[in-house]
Amino acid sequence: MRAETFLWIHCNFGVNLKTFLSLKNSHSKILPPQFANQDVRYSEALVEHFLQEFTKEGDVVLDPFMGFGTTLLVAERMKRTCYGVEFDSKRHQYVQSILQYPHLALHGDSRALNSLALPALDFSITSPPYMGKHHKENPFTAYTTLLDPDGGGYKAYLSDLTKIYGQLADKLKPSSRAVLEVSNLKHEDGTVTTLAWDIAQAVSAVLNFEGEIVMSWPDDCGYGYDHSYCLVFRK
């Protein structure tokens, strides 16, 4: 029942925004050999679309899970000031090396977002690190540590995400939006982690959930689906 609530909720974005999109999953940068085995599904076309819809030139944007810098690269091209936060030091160094304004790429832990010197934000967009309900590795430490199984594992992950977006909400200007691109996860044993719906519920504790936009991709997303969801929240 909970999954249906989030899947079919009426979208009320207040703008002329399509709720089903088909975009190319393309990237302007080829990752260096040290990252050759790492998957990059977060599309530049997706970032460009939402920056065009929800921001204007000069606006301040945050990607709290910077990864390989997709959001920051697109934002530079579109003349937005975009900050990014990345836990993994190698990824952080790589992103700094490809940016025109490397000081906007911050090395840190988004769970301590309030400790970072960030200005007021006009918008936030990201694809958060994923976690399956049976996994043990902590996504917020780049999967280098284990979550305490006694602490609930997957529940602890969702709780941390709520806390991160509670801090992000403090940085957002009134009526500003945050977008998270996520997918549900099909596992080899036939079970499904309803990650998209669970994240929608978790972040709804601190931001107003406006609805989801279905993203159709030409190829399998890698999690058993040919689509993902952009969850749209508003302060």
95 contacts 69 by C-beta, under 8 angstroms: yes
pLDDT of res. 5: 31
Determine, yes or no, domain membership for 25.
no
Pairing mode of beta strands 185-186, 81-86: unpaired
Determine, yes or no, domain membership for 161.
yes
Determine, yes or no, domain membership for 173.
yes
Question: What sign does the dihedral 104-75-172-143 (CA atoms) show?
Answer: negative
Nearest to 110, CA basis, from 90, 93, 124: 124
The count of structural domains within the chain is 1
Alpha-carbon distance of 106 to 87, in angstroms, equals 9
Q: Which domain holds residue 95?
A: 2-14+40-214
Determine, yes or no, domain membership for 141.
yes
Determine, yes or no, domain membership for 170.
yes
pLDDT digits (tens, 9 = 90+) for 33-71: 888 777 677 889 999 999 999 999 999 999 999 999 999
pLDDT of res. 146: 86
Residues 6+ apart with CB under 8 A from 20: 213, 214, 216
61 contacts 68 by C-beta, under 8 angstroms: no
Q: What is the pTM of this model?
A: 0.90
Residue 10 belongs to domain with CATH number = 3.40.50.150
Determine, yes or no, domain membership for 232.
no
Determine, yes or no, domain membership for 143.
yes
Q: Which comes out higher in pLDDT, residue 25 or 89?
A: 89
Please say if the pLDDT value at position 220 is more than 70.
no
pLDDT digits (tens, 9 = 90+) for 105-137: 999 999 999 999 999 999 999 999 999 998 889
Determine, yes or no, domain membership for 203.
yes
Alpha-carbon distance of 58 to 56, in angstroms, equals 6
